[in-house]
Structure 1
């Protein structure tokens, strides 16, 4: 009983102590002040304004040439209208906008050029903290002519010196990597009955026949295209080695085991076929640089591609980069687009890393993809989903312009992954000269500029991202 009385006494003293009289004799609770202050602090506005709606929307396509740009916003503290800034393709257009308490609209005076347009809005609220909101997005003006399809053009299975079956390779690349296309290109000297086969007919080879049948099985237009080809693999034990070449869109194959097919003879042979597509594989000292890329006018009509990236290691620094070989071949007169392939030899078809070859094509079919490769509407990338649009005088990468009076460059790079920042865009010409570059720190980047037509004969684009990821486009050539 005594313990209960003592406990009640202590509680009473504590309760009395938290009350005081104010100057008017009214009892006031310090505890009450504490909770009131806490509530006030909790009500401090720490949230920037909300963007309710944007138009055109993120990634929206098929927009008319002069779309009305509108952004709706709100904030519990109100928006500081003087803080609002709207940028279109990096130009501040705020003074040309109509601004209300919850909306900003902008109508361009001129039509946008076809392609991606980058928009950015900045605004702050009226709270004591002046919370700031920044939103950047892009939309596309004009109906895109080509779709960007992603895949790989170099792989091996157990039918040569790799692992897995044809089924394994196409299944993984289609369903696990979710590629649009994938090519199996076995070393032709590993095929059975190789000396009984030629470019017109390779039916004596069971391995080749099985490859064609499997590619047909996995091909579904508009969904996935299983490509087939062969790798002409000149021995690297010869000093200096000649190199390796992939051939696509062929009914058959030839092999290095045919002693009459040296590099010059092989060039001559493939030049007799209008529809063949050739790729210089991993050029360099290890496997060969094709006799220092000695130019062959005959082979130039077939050789459309060159690997600037090759390897299946996840750490891209441990794979092969041959941008210098690409530059050398272009300077020697070859007309080539760059590719980036995993050259799979293990059960990691398409999933080994982010290497991709991107083809600009009218649709997802074998014929359309081969048309894109043959016309070099191609770029190579070490990022799985970056999208690069590059035109010169409104002509796409891979084009040749005849005697233009001036050159209008338009380049846009977009990565859907916000953390994959674009650090720089470079435009590179003959002898590796960088004629224009611009720094960025965004997953959206755009570069437009004009030049007088001069002695340069080709221009290609290099995009550098964080993580040392590099993408390279096919050139656009200029004839004087």
Structure 2
């Protein structure tokens, strides 16, 4: 009887033990299965870019730099997915590629200017990473300075003081240069003043004193000028012209001050710079832009964008007048001006005039205006480089054997995409165009030269923001 009870107890113990072991195996199997599913689940993160060289926006580097990119991914890199594009050319086959980095050494020197690089890589789970940036080779010849050249205060038909205007432009809008240009026929004692001497006008002299207080060389250049204002509520209206770098001012009320005589007057003064303001039917188109060699020697700018409305589509545009004046023989660079009449100097919208200059000083800025190294833009920080045969906007090429175009448009705001670049010539002919959807865009091509041609660049961004460059002329 005792043996029988002992046998039953041992059998029961063994059965419970085996059951416990089997249950543990089941639990372990379930746990391992869950862990496996967790480890092999879909990983949606793309590879990480650790470093790039040359670095983003780097400048002043050698003409033949090697391009290095380091990357990593926890799941592993699919090296067969890697692609490298330099200025839109696929150079992948010329690269050294590992699981951790890629190296490209160019065989030829880069041309001076911005170089656009795009890198693509995927991990073994097909998660893709795309990275685009630019760097610049060769020391830049010119810096890009941004400002405005058309504004009014309470001294004529606007609001605010001279100090209000310069302060807002410098401290709030962060402009590099800014000009106040009052209507000359609204300044005090205007009939007693001339281009050589405006000492009779206290408002003019106060403008000069205030201007000088706000100049910070290499940081901000305060400029002044006057707007030659022909009546516009009349038949055969003439237009308005800004004049810069004068000792005094004149006005249309002086005897015999028709447009032809005004051209001759400013021609006989040293160092003056002129700008055709808002050409249109309402204000005037300067006798249908009848060509004057006297005027052409002084007037180097034309305002293609004018207005202080925050909605830039509601401001005046004169792109057609720019083309028309160029076809008439004028040598002009385009500008955008806010024409401020309220206390919104520089901050009203993104209209900007950009000048290519060796440094930020009054003499250097005026020299660049005179030589038309200028482009207009409706975007506050787009950067446009345009050369033919390495010569900048505003240049004249004489008897070239070929025309090597190089255009680059870069906007540091990622969402401000370049949509199209156009190269436009005489009579509005578009000789080249290319579409993009990137904040980095470059266009290079070669044409056979034709004499007496000019070529300027139009850059169109999203929201239809448009930039225009000065032409380059071929003689």
State which of 465, 468, 474 in structure 2 corresponds to 1:469. Answer: 465
1:37-436 paired onto structure 2 within 5 Å? 40=38, 44-127=42-125, 130-436=126-432
In the alignment, structure 2 segments of 5+ residues that lack a partner are: 1-18
Matched residue SS, 1:40: helix
Displacement, 1:246?
0.1
TM-score if structure 1 supplies the norm length? Answer: 0.92
Q: Give the Cα–Cα distance (whole angstroms) in 2 for the partners of residues 474 and 248 of structure 1.
A: 19
3-state SS in 1 of match to 2:456: strand
Alpha-carbon distance, 1:199 to partner: 0.6
Q: Give how far 1:240 is off.
A: 1.9
- Going from structure 1 to structure 2, the CA distance change for 1:64 and 1:22 (only over 3 Å counts) comes to farther
Q: Is the 8 A contact 1:372 1:378 kept in 2?
A: yes
Q: 2:13 maps to which residue?
A: none
Deviations 1:204-263 (A, max 9, x none): 100000000000000011010000000001000121210000000111000122132111
TM-superposed deviation, 1:452: 0.6
Q: For residues 316 and 28 of structure 2, what CA distance do their matches in structure 1 show?
A: 72
Aligned length: 457
Measured against aligned partners, the alpha-carbon deviations of 1:401-436 in whole angstroms (never above 9, x if no partner) come to: 111111000000000000000000000000000000
- CA offsets per residue over residues 294-325 of structure 1, 9 Å max, x none? 00011100010000000000111100010000
1:105-147: CA deviations, max 9, x gaps? Answer: 01111101000000000000012xx110000000001000000
CA RMSD of the aligned region, Å? 1.9
What are the ranges of 5 or more consecutive residues in structure 1 without an aligned counterpart? 1-20
TM-score w.r.t. structure 2 length?
0.93
User: Secondary structure in 1 aligned to 2:405?
Assistant: strand
Counterpart secondary structure, 2:413: coil
Contact 1:22/1:28 (<8 A) preserved: no
Residue 440 of structure 2 is aligned with which of 432, 444, 451?
444
- Separation in 2, partners of 1:315, 1:84: 43
Q: Give the distance between the partners of 1:416 and 1:122, measured in 2 at CA.
A: 20
| Distance change (3 Å), C-alpha of 1:34 and 1:235 | farther
SS at match of 2:343: coil
Q: Secondary structure in 2 aligned to 1:357?
A: strand
- Report Cα offsets for 1:357-400 as digits up to 9, x if no partner: 00000000000000010000000000000000000111000000
Taking the aligned partners of 1:41 and 1:252, their CA distance within structure 2 comes to: 79
Residues 31 and 96 (structure 1), Cα distance of their counterparts in 2 relative to 1, 3 Å cut: closer
Structure 1 position 274, deviation (Å): 3.1
Tell whether the 8 Å contact from 1:429 to 1:456 is kept in structure 2 after alignment: no
Q: Secondary structure at the match of 1:109?
A: coil
Q: CA deviation at 1:454?
A: 1.4
Q: Which residue of 1 aligns with 2:8?
A: none
Q: Secondary structure at the match of 1:301?
A: helix
Cα deviation, 1:66-88, whole Å, max 9, x if unaligned, reads 10111011111111000000000
Distance 1:42 1:413 in 2: 44
> Structure 2 CA distance, aligned partners of 1:443 and 1:464?
11
Partner SS for 2:363 = helix
**Which SS does the other structure have where 2:364 is aligned?**
helix
- Please give the alpha-carbon distance, in whole angstroms, between the structure 2 residues aligned to 1:79 and 1:456: 55
Q: Provide closer, same or farther for how the CA distance between residues 124 and 195 of structure 1 changes in structure 2, counting only shifts above 3 A.
A: same
Structure 1 residue ranges, 4+ long, deviating more than 6 angstroms after superposition: none
Larger radius of gyration: 2
* SS of match in other structure, 1:327: helix
Q: Distance in 2 between matches of 1:249 and 1:257?
A: 21
